[in-house]
Every structure is written in C-alpha cells, then in structure tokens.
C-alpha cells in the first residue's frame, strides 16, 4: 500500500491499472474536497470489480460501473462517499512512511 500525496496517480486509466495489478487485488481511491472530485477503482483476479469517478465540473467523464458488497447500505453517489471510503480505511494515513522523490534528468 502507498499513499499518493502528489495526486499524479489519479490521472491513470483503468486500462493502465489492469496490467499493473495483474491477478493481484488493487484498490485505488482518492478524492479532492476542494473541487468535489472522487474516484474508486477496485481490481481483483485481472478484472475490474468497481469503477467510480465523480467530477462535477466534467459530468461527461463520470463513470459508475460494478458494485461492492458494502454499497448495499451506502452506495457511491458522489465524491463524498468516496471520501468516506478512504477516510474509514484503517490503513490510510499512517503516521510514519517513506517519501520517494524521483529526480528527472
């Protein structure tokens, strides 16, 4: 698990995540409360189980496919539910960690 503090991974498409995940489980979840954006991608066994993207400034790019078991009581409708998913995760926001900086050149 890693926490992307740059926001750079939010520009990755599902077609880019699938080869990265291969047959492993992968969850990408992120949100930005300043602009009301949220995204959740869940992959397992080489298949996309859930893809949700909500951007009020670009509604034509919104995606809502698949369903997670937890959504029977709290379905994803906006970025707010994605934020709750991220904030409720016990592994998110560790107090210690590594910062990797890649120098260009």
The per-residue pLDDT string of the chain (105 residues; one tens digit each, 9 = 90 and over) reads 566 666 777 778 899 999 999 999 999 988 999 999 999 999 999 999 999 999 999 999 999 999 999 898 889 999 999 999 888 875 555 566 666 677 776
What does the alpha-carbon distance between residue 77 and residue 26 come to, in Å, rounded to a whole number? 21
> Residue 78 CA to chain centroid, in angstroms?
13
Report domain extents, the chain. Answer: 8-88
pTM of the model: 0.81
Q: In a 3-state reduction of DSSP, which class is residue 10?
A: helix
């Amino acid at each position: 698990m890693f926490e992307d503090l740059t926001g750079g991974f939010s520009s990755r498409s599902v077609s880019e995540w699938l080869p990265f995940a291969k047959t492993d489980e992968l969850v990408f979840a992120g949100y930005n409360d300043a602009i009301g954006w949220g995204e959740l991608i869940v992959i397992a066994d080489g298949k996309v189980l859930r893809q949700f993207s909500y951007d009020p400034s670009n509604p034509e790019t919104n995606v809502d496919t698949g369903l997670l078991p937890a959504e029977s009581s709290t379905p994803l409708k906006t970025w707010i539910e994605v934020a709750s998913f991220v904030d409720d995760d016990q592994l998110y926001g560790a107090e210690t960690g590594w910062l990797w900086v890649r120098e260009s050149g």
